[in-house]
């Protein structure tokens, strides 16, 4: 997703993410300088195994953010995101339209389970320093 997008919905999304970054920097001293986002489309049955959103040679990603775009998602569709916090129970999150998930890229292992009945759409992004 390009910073100079002419699409009004993309512009709204980008402006809200910049507002959130400014809020994090002022209140949590996160030193976030930039972010990247892209549309993600998972075909029915596709998944991501448990991982971190951090490259071994490039440590710039600090926070991951996902905005789900799935209309009328049902439990039987599955396709959940599982978060694995240290010393705590696994958290399963359904990809409901409008839901946003935010977590540490370098510390929170997670996986995306396959959707059993349909494709799954989101905007995935990373706040970077």
- Judge contact between 47 and 113, C-beta under 8 A: yes
Domain boundaries, the chain: 32-128
Name the H helices within 7-118: 8-28
Per residue in 24-76, pLDDT (tens digit) is 999 999 999 999 999 999 999 999 999 999 877 777 899 999 999 999 999 99
Burial class (CB in 10 A: 0-12, 13-18, 19+), 120: buried
Q: What mean pLDDT, rounded, does the chain reach?
A: 93
Phi/psi of residue 13, nearest 5 degrees: -60, -50
Q: If DSSP states are collapsed to H, E and C, what string results for 88-113?
A: CCCEEECCCCCCEEEEECCCCEEEEC
What CATH class does 32-128 carry?
Answer: mainly beta
């Amino acid at each position: 997703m390009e910073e100079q997008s002419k699409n009004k919905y993309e512009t709204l999304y980008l402006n809200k993410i910049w507002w959130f970054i400014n809020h994090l920097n002022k209140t949590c001293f996160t030193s976030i300088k930039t972010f990247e986002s892209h549309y993600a489309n998972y075909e029915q049955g596709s998944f991501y195994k448990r991982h971190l959103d951090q490259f071994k040679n490039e440590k710039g990603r600090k926070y991951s953010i996902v905005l789900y775009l799935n209309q009328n998602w049902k439990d039987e569709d599955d396709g959940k995101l599982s978060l694995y916090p240290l010393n705590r129970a696994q958290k399963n999150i359904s990809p409901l339209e409008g839901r946003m998930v935010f977590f540490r890229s370098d510390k929170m292992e997670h996986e995306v389970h396959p959707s059993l009945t349909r494709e799954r759409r989101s905007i995935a992004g990373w706040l970077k320093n």
